[in-house]
Amino acid sequence: MEAPDGISKDSALARPLGWHALQGDRALDMCGVGVCGACQFTEESNVIEKISLAKKFELILEHWSPRIVAAVNDFHVRIVKFEGPFVWHHHESEDELFLVVKGRMQLKLREGDIELNEGEFIVVPHGIEHLPVGMGEVHVLMFEPNSTLNTGTTRSERTVAEPEWI
């Protein structure tokens, strides 16, 4: 199939509805039907949209209840509001990234405490025991493997086995 004049044959605009190609073992669909690696279309969602963290945080009414806002390969982008201490825990095989979007938090470690302010983040390697503490209400974005349980190897009333998508 020929691309229209002035449009690269590799451009999504050059490909007619239903055009598919293979890239490695992945099917691509440049027109928005099915799976598209170039356009980030997936079988679950065929819409690319920007996400407003402020609007997503407005939907969270309770503390310590993480919500999933996006997926990146085998990772989840989760957000949570919290205040005060969580529970001491660690994760056997998952690292965790905590990014403070609003407020301040302290990450207690057995070796000492680290304070995080808005716009700062930290990566906690797997196996490291930690205790997140909200210094007032804090809004945090977490990036972690989708298998990550919020309380790690510790089960408590704050364990959320299957976070809700928002």
Q: Give the chain's domains with CATH numbers.
A: 1-48 (no CATH), 53-165 (2.60.120.10)
Overall size of the chain counted in residues: 166
Are the C-beta atoms of 132 and 100 separated by less than 8 Å?
no
Q: Does position 102 have pLDDT exceeding 90, yes or no? A: yes
Helix (H/G/I), strand (E/B), else coil: 66: coil
More confident residue, 89 or 38: 89
Q: Does position 35 have pLDDT exceeding 90, yes or no? A: no
Q: pTM for this structure?
A: 0.71
